Chains A and B, each alone.
Chain A
Amino acid sequence: MKKIELLFPELCNIYGESYNVEYLKRSNPDNIEVIETNHRDIPAFVKEGVDMVYLGCTTERKQEIIIEILKPYKERIKELIDKNVIFLITGNSVEIFGNYIKDEDRVIEALGIFDFYSERYMKKDRHNSQFIGKHEDLTLMGHRSQFSFAYGEFQNCFINIEKGIGMNKETKKEGIHVKNFFATYSLGPFLILNPYFAKQLLSTMGLDDKLCFEKEILEAYEYRLKELRRTIK
């Protein structure tokens, strides 16, 4: 039985994020156990072995609450990354793992696990865009809708952007990929948008990579990819 920890679904489900874990579970219900961790509880990954940790997009205020919750477990998170535990981090939760977040005059210290920082632009219009990019031989798509961007070298990026932007408007490097730690600014049900990556995660966990409603999800993916290739500048 593989254990997937869904961190703080009451805080981190603002664009359908929880469906990422739901979809993996539905793809292999007999071999996946989902542990939902409330923000007032100690995360399961602290106490026991888990095979995957998921953290989704959240509001700015809740992002700061989560940083404070996770700070005591920073070393444990590093240890789990070193041990090849899968982490999937989507939306602005990627910023939690950087050095700090700037919000006008405020500097919010983050976990500092990876060497980059983020900056919020709450007074400006929200940035909306989409991207097509490559992760190894997979073509991935992403939706971004955000108030902030991240800055750094991003040598270990998750996705090399073909069309669209990366962690900020000046880079084509998107997200973070170290061992089995995957983080992306793309929000929402990333695994439903990208079924081939969902397959990869199932394989990495040592499970059959057959997806729930595989025919339908691959057809929807191919349609969107064709549509996006045709329309995106």
Chain B
Amino acid sequence: MSKLRFTVALWAAKLSVVALKITKHNGTNFPGVVALKICPDFLRHIQKPRHIIGVTGTNGKTTVCNLAIDMFRADGKIVLNNNLGSNIDSGISTALINGVNIWGKCRYDSALLEIDERSAPLIFPYVKPEILLINNLTRDSIMRNGHPQYIARILTEEIPKETKLLINGDDLIASGIAPSNSRKYFGIESMDTDINECINLINDMQICPKCAGRLRYSHVRYHHIGKALCPECGFSSPECDYVGKNVNTESMTMEISDSGVSCTYRLLNDSIFNIYNVLAVVSLFRELGYRREKICALLEKVEIVKSRFSEQEAGGYKIVRQMSKDKNALGASRAFDYVSGRPGTKELILMMNCLGDTKHWSENICWLYDADFEFLNKEDIKNIIVTGPRAKDYYLRLKLAGLPDEKLTFVEKELEAPSSLRLYPGESIYVFYGTDSIALGSRVVENIKKVITERGDRQ
């Protein structure tokens, strides 16, 4: 009976794939949704590639997966993946549906799957990665993910025992996941920007997971990312197998050593998140047996996907789209820190509102008081335009962060925000948008270009 139900589900899903192609709706989860509706344990039955690599964690999953897929492609290897769909069970199902023929025979030898950490109970009973990369585990949306310890507990309970873990060893929450699984760690030895104490509002790893003693950090990179020791019981951050060092954001390179041999790799972006993303990808490819020189060559051929971060020039101004996931305070803090550290005069448009929430209630604002808006209180940030449903909350939060009224502009509607740009000569304009406002963010960027053109014509 279950076999019959699976076959019906597969064929219905395959039909929906065809229908979606005809109607030009590629990249949705719909086939997976159909399959799971008909056959709830569809993932158990569908044939999977022999080798599965999973990528999970709070931040950087998509970037790491996209980089890895592009590197495989540059190496002439096509791996099944879910980079056009979602990372929950329906997205994984959709990817696997695309990987089999109508008789259910898998056409791929390998898959690289981005796996939503919260969806682990729906995925890991059936999809068992050989290697699971855990990039980090930090605070995310309160409503969906609760707190990182809760997610760590879910992952510990659900990750298959035979899966080998590749974990960010600078993250003490992530490195404690599934302690009985075999594992390797990657981490960065030291950076010029390291500090001794956390300056962020969020620090989710202040007490020892063994004895509850207060942890002492030898260095902190951001939030709880760094190296810590418990003076009471001796618990400490793990030794890393893949060690990043000599990070140089001028030459855009980083050394990574493993097994006592060091090699210099190209960085793709100078933000700390993306430095870790490169380290993660290099560690993964080393685990897969790639030679260091080969990885260097492959990294030369890839870039970070533009939907997350993109820059363009318009009329002498730089316009930067900066993704900042809605209701993700840590992601916002990292983005604020990164942008505030970039050189030159800047204007910002903050519009990472969760538009979905405003349909049925008022977006939960707790995250604003977890996010380090204080990073935006910098001399060369001349004007911050707050806009959208949470504009008044942003305004208040920025005032509490020390920004004066003359640096703040309230504009109710996002598309009208560009009209309030002051356009300082040669400045950069950053548009902070969320996952809910990607399309709206693009329209705002178009309006910025119009404003630049109009004001240029007037002069």
Structural contact, B206 and A10, CB atoms closer than 8 A: yes
Kindly identify which residue among A18, A40, A217, A228 contacts B396, using a CB–CB cutoff of 8 Å. Answer: A217
Q: Does A11 contact B (CB under 8 A)?
A: yes
Output the least CB separation between A193 and chain B (Å).
7
Q: Does A145 contact B (CB under 8 A)?
A: yes
Which residues in A have their C-beta under 8 angstroms from that of B359? 231
Which residues in B have their C-beta under 8 angstroms from that of A217? 396
Structural contact, A228 and B365, CB atoms closer than 8 A: no
Interface residues of B in 355-376 (CB under 8 A from A): 358-362, 364-370
Structural contact, B366 and A189, CB atoms closer than 8 A: yes
Considering the chains assembled together, what is the distance between the CA atoms of A28 and B332 in angstroms? 29
Structural contact, A61 and B149, CB atoms closer than 8 A: yes
Structural contact, B400 and A213, CB atoms closer than 8 A: yes
Kindly identify which residue among A122, A129, A193 contacts B365, using a CB–CB cutoff of 8 Å. Answer: A193
Q: Using A59-B149, A213-B400, A216-B392 as known contacts, say yes or no to A130 and B361 having CB atoms under 8 A apart.
A: yes
Q: Which residue of B lies closest to A126 (CB)?
A: B146
Considering the chains assembled together, what is the distance between the CA atoms of A228 and B361 in angstroms? 5
Structural contact, B360 and A231, CB atoms closer than 8 A: yes
Q: Using A224-B362, A232-B360 as known contacts, say yes or no to A59 and B392 having CB atoms under 8 A apart.
A: no
Structural contact, A15 and B396, CB atoms closer than 8 A: no
Structural contact, B364 and A143, CB atoms closer than 8 A: yes
Q: Using A38-B214, A39-B212, A216-B395 as known contacts, say yes or no to A15 and B366 having CB atoms under 8 A apart.
A: yes
Q: Does B424 contact A (CB under 8 A)?
A: no
Interface residues of B in 364-410 (CB under 8 A from A): 364-370, 389, 392-393, 395-396, 399-400
Structural contact, B143 and A16, CB atoms closer than 8 A: no
Output the least CB separation between A191 and chain B (Å).
10
State the total of A-B contacts with C-beta under 8 angstroms.
108
Q: How large is the interface on B (under 10, 10 to 19, 20 to 34, 35 or more residues)?
A: 35 or more
Kindly identify which residue among A59, A62, A130, A188 contacts B362, using a CB–CB cutoff of 8 Å. Answer: A130
Q: Does B309 contact A (CB under 8 A)?
A: no
Structural contact, A40 and B364, CB atoms closer than 8 A: no
Kindly identify which residue among A13, A15, A26, A219 contacts B400, using a CB–CB cutoff of 8 Å. Answer: A26
Q: Does B142 contact A (CB under 8 A)?
A: yes
Which residues in B have their C-beta under 8 angstroms from that of A145? 142-143, 146, 364
Considering the chains assembled together, what is the distance between the CA atoms of A33 and B231 in angstroms? 30
Considering the chains assembled together, what is the distance between the CA atoms of A213 and B139 in angstroms? 28
Q: Does A65 contact B (CB under 8 A)?
A: yes
Q: Which residue of B lies closest to A193 (CB)?
A: B365
Which residues in B have their C-beta under 8 angstroms from that of A130? 361-362, 364
Output the least CB separation between A5 and chain B (Å).
18
Structural contact, A188 and B150, CB atoms closer than 8 A: no
Which residues in B have their C-beta under 8 angstroms from that of A126? 143-144, 146
Structural contact, B139 and A233, CB atoms closer than 8 A: no
Q: Using A11-B207, A213-B396 as known contacts, say yes or no to A227 and B389 having CB atoms under 8 A apart.
A: yes
Q: Does B201 contact A (CB under 8 A)?
A: yes
Which residues in A have their C-beta under 8 angstroms from that of B395? 216, 220
Output the least CB separation between B212 and chain A (Å).
6
Q: Does B183 contact A (CB under 8 A)?
A: no
Structural contact, A10 and B366, CB atoms closer than 8 A: no
Structural contact, B393 and A16, CB atoms closer than 8 A: no
Considering the chains assembled together, what is the distance between the CA atoms of A223 and B362 in angstroms? 9
Which residues in A have their C-beta under 8 angstroms from that of B149? 59-61
Q: Does B104 contact A (CB under 8 A)?
A: no
Q: Does B213 contact A (CB under 8 A)?
A: yes
Output the least CB separation between B233 and chain A (Å).
13
Q: Does B318 contact A (CB under 8 A)?
A: no
Q: Which residue of B lies closest to A212 (CB)?
A: B400
Output the least CB separation between A227 and chain B (Å).
4
Kindly identify which residue among A15, A38, A39, A219 contacts B142, using a CB–CB cutoff of 8 Å. Answer: A15
Q: Does A192 contact B (CB under 8 A)?
A: yes
Q: Does A14 contact B (CB under 8 A)?
A: yes
The 7 closest A-B pairs by CB, nearest first: A16-B369, A188-B366, A220-B392, A15-B366, A10-B206, A19-B369, A128-B143
Residues of B with Cβ closer than 8 Å to A?
A: 139, 142-144, 146-147, 149-150, 201, 203-204, 206-207, 212-214, 329, 358-362, 364-370, 389, 392-393, 395-396, 399-400
Q: List 19 A-B contacts (CB under 8 A).
A: A10-B203, A15-B369, A16-B370, A19-B369, A38-B214, A40-B214, A59-B150, A129-B361, A143-B364, A143-B365, A188-B365, A213-B400, A216-B392, A216-B396, A224-B365, A224-B392, A227-B358, A227-B362, A227-B389
Q: A128-B143, A217-B396, A220-B396 are in contact. List 20 more A-B contacts (CB 8 A).
A: A10-B214, A11-B206, A15-B367, A16-B368, A16-B370, A19-B369, A23-B400, A65-B212, A130-B362, A147-B146, A187-B142, A188-B365, A189-B369, A192-B369, A220-B393, A227-B362, A228-B361, A231-B360, A231-B361, A232-B361
